Amino acid sequence: MRGKDLTGKTYGFITVIRDSLQRATNRQKIWECSCKGTPKNPHQEKLVYIRTDNLERGLTKSCGCYKKELHTKHGHGVPGKNSLEYGSWKSMRGRCNNPNFSHHKYWADVDIYPEWDHAEGFPAFLEYVMEHLGPRPKGKTIDRIDRTKPYEPGNIRWANPAEQARNRSTTKLTEIKVQAIKNRLQDDATVHSRKHISRVYGVHFNTINDIFFGRTWKDVG
């Protein structure tokens, strides 16, 4: 037999039974494995076929039941689920990804670091936060240091509302953003609307007025 023999080895909740004799397109061996569930949720034996590299890199730890357990147990399997940091992670993702979030389209250009931005991204987010920012202080929320950049390592901090407002006021405007603001102003330029625009674009109210009254960015639009 060429290559490593993984027979009998265990990876997470999986035990390798035998070489299936099938090969993946990358010529890796495909192993017939058995999963009987997790200690919390055992199930009848299921056979799964997994590539050598996916086993060795720890990418596949179960037939899928373990991931499901993490998802559906509403946090009982996710450490830190009731923490303030979890709230931050959820609201960060909700803002950027939830089409039901009322200001979604204005957040469409805001990105999140891919490792944090999926259903199981919280542990990676938490690890980064604890190491670099420390626990979330009461009264502070997650904020981007540079608002033109995504939520990503090096660009997040805990900030209170005043700090966030200061940050907003220094947001760099781009032509594209100003164009979008002007379009919005054309639809509705009441004070209420201008305040709303200021909030969703993260631009100071005075700046919105400057744009509206043609004191700045005259060349755009």
* Closest by CA position to 133, among listed 142, 124, 122: 142
Tokens of 134: 């420390």
Options 60-68, 111-119, 139-147, 193-201: segment touching Zn ion (CB under 5 A): 60-68
Counting residues that bind Zn ion (by CB under 5 A) gives 5
- CB-closest chain residue to Zn ion: 65
| Cβ–Cβ < 8 Å for 150, 115 | no
d(CA 62, CA 130): 28
Tokens of 85: 């940091």
Q: Please state whether beta strands 156-159 and 14-23 pair in parallel, antiparallel, or not at all (unpaired).
A: unpaired
Among 6, 16, 55, 63, binds Zn ion (CB under 5 A): 63
| Identity of the residue numbered 154 | G
CB of 140 to Zn ion, least distance (A): 40
| Identity of the residue numbered 102 | S
Tokens of 132: 């670099």
Based on CB atoms, which residue is closest to Zn ion, 62 or 88? 62
Among 50, 55, 65, 78, binds Zn ion (CB under 5 A): 65
211 lines the binding site for Zn ion (CB under 5 A) = no
CB of 41 to Zn ion, least distance (A): 8
* Closest by CA position to 181, among listed 194, 171, 168: 194
CB of 45 to Zn ion, least distance (A): 9
Tokens of 167: 């940050």
Options 21-29, 30-38, 83-91, 102-110: segment touching Zn ion (CB under 5 A): 30-38
12 lines the binding site for Zn ion (CB under 5 A) = no
Among 12, 37, 77, 87, binds Zn ion (CB under 5 A): 37
Contact footprint for Zn ion (CB under 5 A): 35, 37, 62-63, 65
